[in-house]
């Protein structure tokens, strides 16, 4: 018998349930589609309307990316994945930098793969 078999309580049950299930990013799958839509709309607006409305599209889409990244990180944290201080960096960078959304998509995929391997759950 291991030491965990003697532990009781809600926290122990929650830890046991989190180890048994697969970690998934709630909004991670939507991010590439939203990024593609934002890129196309930015390109169309900048080519046909002008730079000022294109800047407005840029701001709105990056605000939306930051919100999606924040919500995804919060959903991953609720599943027991610790992000530390880097969650603030991902959220803040999504406001200003154009390629943060695809970089976050790739990075979070690595984090999820590593976490699922440590939980012993395969795809």
Q: Is the pLDDT of residue 36 over 60?
A: yes
Residue 77 structure tokens: 């944290």
Prediction pTM value? 0.73
CA distance 62 to 77: 22
Q: Please determine, for residue 122, whether its predicted confidence score (pLDDT) is greater than 70.
A: no
And the tokens for 80?
A: 């027991």
d(CA 70, CA 92): 9
Q: What percent of the chain has pLDDT over 90?
A: 8
User: Using CA atoms, how far apart are residues 77 and 87, in angstroms rounded to an integer?
Assistant: 10
**What's the pLDDT score for residue 23?**
77
Residue written as token pair 């992000």 = 83
Q: Tell me how far CA of residue 15 lies from CA of 2, 53, 70, in angstroms.
A: 15, 49, 23
Determine the Cα angle at 48 with ends 55 and 30, to 5°: 55
pLDDT at 9 over 90: no
What ranges in 1-123 are assigned the alpha helix state H? 10-20, 31-48, 51-78, 86-96, 100-119
């Amino acid at each position: 018998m291991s030491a965990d078999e003697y532990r009781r309580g809600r926290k122990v049950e929650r830890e046991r349930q989190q180890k048994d299930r697969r970690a998934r990013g709630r909004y991670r799958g939507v991010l590439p589609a939203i990024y593609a839509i934002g890129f196309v709309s930015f390109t169309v607006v900048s080519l046909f309307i002008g730079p000022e409305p294109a800047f407005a599209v840029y701001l709105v889409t990056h605000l939306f990316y930051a919100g999606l990244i924040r919500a995804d990180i919060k959903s991953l944290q609720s599943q027991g994945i610790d992000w530390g201080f880097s969650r603030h960096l991902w959220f803040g960078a999504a406001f200003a930098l154009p390629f943060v959304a695809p970089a976050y998509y790739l990075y979070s995929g690595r984090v999820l793969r590593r976490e699922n391997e440590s939980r012993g759950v395969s795809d």
